[in-house]
Amino acid sequence: MRLAVVIASYNHAQYLPFAIESVLGQTRKADRFLVIDDGSKDDSVEVIRAYADRGVELVVQENAGAHATWNRCIETVAEDCDLVSILNSDDIYAPERFERCLPQFEQPDARAMVCTGLKMIGPENEDLAPDESRAKWLRAAWAIGKADGITTWEWMAMCNWAVTSSNIIARCDYLRENPFRPYRFNHDYFCLSGAALRDQIALIDEVLLEYRVHPQNNINTDPAPLLKEMLRMHLDLYAHFAGELEADPAVRSRFYDYMRAAEHGISSFHPGLFQLLLAQLAAANSDEASREKLVAGLDETRIAELHDYPNKALVNQWDGETPPQLSLALAEKYEAERAARREAEVEKKAWRELARRRLVLLKSRGASLARALGGGKNQLTDDGKTAREKLDHLNSALGSEERESRD
C-alpha cells in the first residue's frame, strides 16, 4: 500500500522543522509527502521550501481554513496513494509510527482508520507537567478507555481520546467519502466519532505521537463557543447517520451506546442543552400529524427493536432485592445476547432466501440464456459481507437488469 503524509500548514514556522523531520525520519518511509500552506503570514513557506530537495511537495493557497485544507490534501494524494497520514504543522511523529501502524491495514479484519497513544508537549518540546490541566485531562481520558468492557465508540463519546487529526492514519477512500466539516474546534472529533460509530478505528496502545500545546492552539477560555459547537456536532451526527441508523441494526446499537455514554463523559457535550435543542427542532419543524407520520413510518419488518419491550430485562433479571436500575449492567448483557440472537435469526432467514433465489436463477432457462449472451452478469456475484447485504445486492441487480430489458 502506498502511504502519503499531508500537513496543513498555518503560521507555525517555528514548529514546522520538528514536524517535517519527524516524517522524514520514519523507519518506514512515506511514499509521498505533501504540505499545503493555508495562507500563512509568517515564514512557514520559506521553511517548507527548504525541504524541496528531500521530496517535500509544497502547495500555497489563500487561507481556506483547516477543514478545507485537509480535504484538498486528501483529494490530491488519493490520486496515487491508498493511505494518508495527517499531521498538524506543530505536532511530531515518533520515528516508528508508520512501521507500527501500517500492518494494521493488512489484517483480515482491517479497519479504515488507525489511531495510537500520544503524549502532550509544550512549546519547547518539553513534556507537560503532570498537574497541567491538559495533561490531567489526557490521563483521565485514557483512564476511561481502560474500563472493563468499554467499546471504542463509548470511549469516543465520553471524550475525544484520539485528541487531534494528527492521530489519524486512514484509507484515502474512507476520508474522501467522509470529508472534514467546517468546524472551528471539532473537525477531527466529528471524523473520529463517525469512524468509531462504524467500528472502523483500530487502536495501537503505544505513544507514537507528540501533540503540542501552546498559546496559539488553546481553546478559548470562554466555554460558550465550544459548547455550542459540540451541540451542533451531535445534531450533525444525527443527520449524517439517519440513513445508516435505519438500515443497519449494528450501527443503531453502537449509536445507542454512544449517546448514552456521551451523557457521562468529560467532553464539552451538555446533554441537557442537547435535549433543549431536540425539543426546539421538534416544535419548529413538524406539526402533530407529521410527528405521528414519522413514528408510523418506522419499518416493523426491518427494525427488530419494535418487537420487544426495551427494558424488560430490568425486571426479568431482577434479584428481588436490589433496586432494578442498579442491575443495569446485567440487564444490558442480557439484552445484548438477545439482540445477537435476533440478528442471527435475521441472517439465517436471509441465507435461506438467498439460497432459494440463487437456485431459482440457476434453474431458470431464461436467466441461463441471458448469462450465456453476456447479460445477467450480476446475478450470481457475491458482493456484500452479510447474507442480508448479499440478498439486497442480488435484488438490486435483478431490478436493474429488469429495467434495462424494458429500455
- Give the list of residues 6+ apart from residue 351 with CB closer than 8 angstroms, or none: 387
Contact between residue 22 and residue 52 where contact means Cβ atoms under 8 Å apart = no
Contact at 8 Å (CB) between 11 and 91? no
Kind of pairing between the strands at 56-61 and 32-38: parallel
User: In this predicted model, what pLDDT tens digit does every residue of 118-157 receive, in sequence order?
Assistant: 999 999 999 999 989 999 999 999 999 999 889 999 999 9
Strand-pairing partners, residue 201, are 113
* Per-residue pLDDT, 333: 56
Cell numbers for 220, please give them: 478559548
How far is 22 from 24, CA to CA, in rounded Å? 6
What is the per-residue pLDDT across 222-277, written as a single tens digit (0 to 9) for each? 889 999 999 999 999 999 999 999 999 999 999 999 999 999 999 999 999 999 99
Percent of the chain exceeding pLDDT 90 equals 65
Are 189 and 123 within 8 A, CB to CB?
no
Rounded mean pLDDT of 291-298?
A: 89
User: Tens digit of pLDDT for each residue in 158-204?
Assistant: 999 999 999 999 999 999 999 999 999 999 999 999 999 999 999 99
Name the pairing type of β-strands 113-121 and 169-171: antiparallel
| Residue 310 or 55, more confident | 55
Give the per-residue pLDDT at 403.
47
Contacts from 13-19 at CB under 8 Å and sequence distance 24+? 13/40, 13/42, 13/43, 13/44, 13/46, 13/47, 15/89, 15/90, 15/212, 15/214, 16/44, 16/47, 16/48, 16/89, 16/90, 17/47, 18/92, 18/125, 19/87, 19/88, 19/89, 19/90, 19/91, 19/92
- In the predicted structure, residue 332 carries a pLDDT above the cut 90: no
For the segment 98-125, the average pLDDT, to the nearest whole number, is: 96
E strand map for 10-66: 32-38, 56-61
Indicate if the pLDDT at residue 385 is higher than 50: yes
Whole-number average pLDDT of the chain: 87
- The average pLDDT across 336-357 equals 74
How many C-beta neighbours within 10 Å does residue 334 have?
16
The grid coordinates listed for 185 are 474546534
Q: What share of the chain is helix, strand, coil (3-state, %, to 5)?
A: 55, 15, 35
**7-29 pLDDT, tens digit each:** 999 999 999 999 999 999 999 99
User: By CB neighbour count within 10 A (0-12 exposed, 13-18 middle, 19+ buried), where does 115 fall?
Assistant: buried
Give the distance between the most distant pair of CA atoms in the chain: 76
* C-alpha cell, 189: 472529533
